[in-house]
Structure 1
């Protein structure tokens, strides 16, 4: 529970920092202006900082321009193509939210009325409450939404078991490989490293064999079986990653806890896991993304009713044309949660990939 409380506090601090960023920027600007006027700092220093910031902003905008281009396509009323014969267009003409409504149309409650029937002697009083409409998709002329809700639920029912199965193997495996000596430990470590390198041309052959096995077992259209496969592919690399992070935690912390009489399970839950917070967050995100974004295996094994979001996005493509506006709006809504996760978890990912704890 201490680990969950620590994660909750960190998320709360991140949200607070994001909300207070504009206030801090104004405060720093006022301080800088006052310091320049009083001669505490030279005028060239803030100018140099502003120039570096402006250059970084230009680079960031250049990197984000493809996303902006997709947004323009998603807001397009024509819905035909992302290409333009009239040159570069930096803003959509006749923008509309119809494409986004088409994506989330089946997530919307179009309206409802509550009837209260009170029986009397030989009659009933019927009271109809006003209809409450959150967003009426039919008002946009949309009769057949994208099926985003079905794809979203399918992705969750694949990604969540993937995380649960993988983490139940990764955490104890990483701890055992990092803190315990046993027969065959080095060979197991070598096997983990070898499995992390399997890919490329072998991936196609493995996919064919995997499909054959799944068909023979009758689980080729089973989301839980797909989660088991995703978890198996996520275990080698993420176990090695978390093990390497745990290696950086001083053994003296555990020894002190053992001297104080703490049992082994408390040493793990109260010492190792809280100190491995950054590594655990990194592994959790990587494992979740394995089940959330993988396309090739899901498209090969799953049937139409069990399509996940990546496969659902691919199914939008027509035989002879691509509805770019709808495709772009679907892609943006699919990618937005991932962007938010990376926004709030980037410092954990950076810490988890630094391969080491803090000596104290």
Structure 2
């Protein structure tokens, strides 16, 4: 009976994995296929004998991919650098320091992390009107600052929760050994917080890399980021969508995210599990 349950569980897991991975497999094969359709005349998959890299060559050398990549990198660099410069000291202060207004700030962080999605449409309208009136509606740096401001509340709370799980005795032992406050932060808190910082780094990167709606609303075509440029492929054609080129563009767009998560996987997994021990 146990063997049957094990086989059934393994088979179910494999089946679910195949279902989840099928869209990715289909997009990859579509990016290598000939023509512009997602399906061949003989079925949903292209003929492997016709596989080629023409769609990737078009994306890299003929489309606006390179300009959009530069725009996305500008936005991401601003988002990550500003977010991390606020999130790390903010999380440490909220986790390890008692000061006037601390509880109210914590409640404010919770408020921003919970109700932001519900106010997204109203915020978008107000944001567009404000940026247009100030002449900031086509500025990559301002867009990066907005993404950073949006990412700071949740990620500060997440990193603060992680730091709460670091025993205070470690700091006390370092102080007894003669370490100063900054030494404790540099030699104890930050090294032990690496998994949590990795999670926050990935989340802030995704905030600047993947966001689409605000970027499309505030940017002109020459300032489009990769997410908006990818969408424009589906609406740019008069008669049909170039699905092979779209698939190749989508894979190149998603590749950095996959690589970052792959190399930071151990940190991300431990950071999410460790940081989730306390609410």
Q: TM-score, normalised by structure 1?
A: 0.71
Question: For structure 1, which runs of at least 5 residues remain unmatched after alignment?
Answer: 1-44, 106-144
CA distance in 2, matches of 1:193, 1:228: 21
1:89 aligned residue: 45
2:19 aligned residue: 62
User: In structure 1, which of residues 99, 102, 106 is the aligned counterpart of residue 55 of structure 2?
Assistant: 99
1:20 aligned residue: none
String of CA shifts for 1:198-237, please: whole Å, max 9, x gaps: 2344201100111111112211111110011000000000
CA distance in 2, matches of 1:168, 1:104: 33
CA distance in 2, matches of 1:199, 1:260: 45
2:76 aligned residue: 159
User: In structure 1, which of residues 266, 279, 299 is the aligned counterpart of residue 196 of structure 2?
Assistant: 279
CA distance in 2, matches of 1:357, 1:215: 40
- Residue 61 of structure 1 deviates from its aligned partner by 2.9
What pairs with 1:1-360 in structure 2 (closer than 5 Å)? Answer: 56-79=13-36, 81-83=37-39, 86-89=42-45, 91-92=47-48, 94-105=50-61, 145-317=62-234, 318-356=237-275
Question: For structure 2, which runs of at least 5 residues remain unmatched after alignment?
Answer: none
- Residue 355 of structure 1 deviates from its aligned partner by 3.8
- Residue 55 of structure 1 deviates from its aligned partner by 5.7
Tell me if the contact between 1:241 and 1:355 (Cα under 8 Å) persists in the aligned partners: no
CA distance in 2, matches of 1:355, 1:153: 35
- Residue 103 of structure 1 deviates from its aligned partner by 0.9
- Residue 84 of structure 1 deviates from its aligned partner by 5.0
SS in 1 for 2:115: coil
Q: TM-score, normalised by structure 2?
A: 0.91
String of CA shifts for 1:61-103, please: whole Å, max 9, x gaps: 3321101111121112111x22456444375462221111111
CA distance in 2, matches of 1:304, 1:280: 34
Greater share of residues in helix: 2
CA distance in 1, matches of 2:98, 2:187: 22
Tell me if the contact between 1:163 and 1:288 (Cα under 8 Å) persists in the aligned partners: yes
CA distance in 2, matches of 1:72, 1:51: 30
CA distance in 2, matches of 1:206, 1:198: 11
SS in 1 for 2:260: helix
1:132 aligned residue: none
Structure exhibiting the larger radius of gyration computed from Cα positions:
1
CA distance in 1, matches of 2:134, 2:31: 42
